[in-house]
Amino acid sequence: MSGMSNQMSLVSAKGLSIRVGSQEILKQVDLEIERGEIVTIVGPNGSGKTTLLRAIIGALSPSSGQIVRAPKLTVGYVPQRLHIDATFPMTVARFMSMPRAPGKSACNAALQEAGVPDLSSRQMSELSGGQMQRVMLARALIGQPDLLILDEATQGLDQPGSAAFYRQIESVRQTLGCAILMVSHELHVVMSASDRVICLNGHVCCHGTPEVVASAPEYRALFGTGTLGTLALYRHHHDHDHDHDHDHDHDHNVHQHDHQSIDTETGKH
């Protein structure tokens, strides 16, 4: 880590607006990301979620307002699913060392942290979707980032695969102490995995804890009320589950119920 003051936000956006041509994609967005918290951005297609991520990373400049990043902030980025040409030979170890070689021990430690310690010699083209996402997560963790950003990182995974990936993300947060900023359309999983949720639709519609956002009229107008029952169910299990030996069982039950509720939500997307 970079020895920054714990009092300073890792990233702070004030009145952030971004215009592309004549279109204003984001308008007057305020955002704070603190060390160690998991923040999720939700919103309909075209709401500016990826644009906001690109601005936070520094790939887009604000039209007005500002983004302040903590000094020496290190960022790890996990993109949407990567497509590898099946005819192109590349091992996981080689992929991990691009574009700069971080050293074998650092690569192995990152693969361990991402939950795939035994994949180093495998061909990238042979990996399952879930394994591919773990390898991309490992690559983002090599530098032990202060902030880990995930843009629809579970897109294309099945529901149990998504749930397992988010459990790995929670483990990463606990081990590395980094902040995690996620964009996702999987409301049923994300709402239960986050400390704070930001509902975006060109501007910040509402924000706060998952319970606050799921109850907000602005959120219901965009996504309906399907998440509320799921969230209550998750919180009930979570609040009564203090035995780590039973975590998997509880998660499995919760996500079975989540799967039922997502059907009611998908029709609203």
Lowest mean pLDDT among 69-73, 156-160, 171-175, 185-189: 185-189
CB atoms within 10 A of CB 116: 22
Of 181, 230, 237, 240, the C-alpha closest to 210 is 230
| 116 φ, ψ (degrees, to nearest 5) | -135, 65
Is pLDDT above 90 for 18?
Answer: yes
Using the predicted structure, report yes or no on whether residue 256 has a pLDDT greater than 60. Answer: no
Contacts of 43-48 with CB under 8 Å at 24 or more apart are 43/199, 43/200, 43/201, 43/205, 43/222, 44/201, 44/222, 44/269, 45/269, 47/200, 47/201, 47/202, 48/18, 48/200, 48/201, 48/202
Residue 148 resides in a domain: no
Beta-sheet pairing, 23-33 with 38-42: unpaired
Q: How many domains does the chain have?
A: 1
Q: What is the pLDDT of residue 115?
A: 92
Q: Which one-letter amino acid corresponds to residue 45? A: N
Averaged pLDDT for residues 224-234: 53
Look at residue 250 in the predicted model and tell me its pLDDT. 36
Identify the pLDDT of residue 46. Answer: 87
**For residue 87, what pLDDT is reported?**
75
Segment 58-85 shows an average pLDDT of 88
Report yes or no on 232 lying in a domain.
yes
* pLDDT over threshold 50, residue 9: yes
Q: In a 3-state reduction of DSSP, which class is residue 193?
A: helix
Residue 179 predicted with pLDDT over 50: yes
Instruction: Give the residue numbers spanning the domain of 22.
Output: 1-74+184-269
Question: Mean of the pLDDT values across residues 76-98?
Answer: 82
Q: Which tokens in the block code for residue 79? A: 């993109």
pLDDT band (50, 70, 90) for residue 225? low
Question: What pLDDT shows up at residue 67?
Answer: 94
pLDDT above 90 (res 222): no
- Looking at residue 226, its pLDDT comes to 60
Q: Mean of the pLDDT values across residues 224-239?
A: 50
Percent of the chain with pLDDT over 70: 77
In the predicted model, what is the mean pLDDT of residues 102-121?
89
Of 41-55, 156-170, 212-226, 241-255, least confident by mean pLDDT is: 241-255
Contact of 33 with 11, CB cutoff 8 Å? yes
The region, left, alpha or beta by phi > 0 then psi within -120 to 50, assigned to residue 147 is beta
Q: Is residue 116 part of a domain?
A: no
Exposed/middle/buried for residue 83 (C-beta within 10 Å: 0-12, 13-18, 19+): exposed
Residue 81 DSSP symbol: P
> For residue 124, what is the DSSP state?
G
What SS3 class is residue 139? helix
Mean predicted confidence (pLDDT) in 45-62:
91
C-alpha distances out from residue 76 to 31, 69, 103, 157, 217, Å: 19, 14, 17, 21, 34
- Alpha carbon distance 62, 11 (integer Å): 14
Q: At residue 73, does pLDDT exceed 50?
A: yes
Query: Which helix (H) or strand (E) segment is 19 a member of?
Result: strand 11-20
Is 237 domain-assigned? yes
Q: What is the CATH number of the domain that holds 24?
A: 3.40.50.300
Structure confidence at residue 3 (pLDDT)? 40
Residue 1: inside a domain = yes
31 part of a folded domain: yes
From the centroid of its chain, how far is CA 155? 11
Q: Is residue 163 a part of any domain in this protein?
A: no
Residue 185's pLDDT is 76
Residue 169 lies in a domain: no
Does position 135 have pLDDT exceeding 90, yes or no?
A: yes
**201 phi and psi, to 5 degrees?**
-150, 60
In 3D space, the residue among 170, 180, 86 whose CA is nearest the CA of residue 140 turns out to be 180
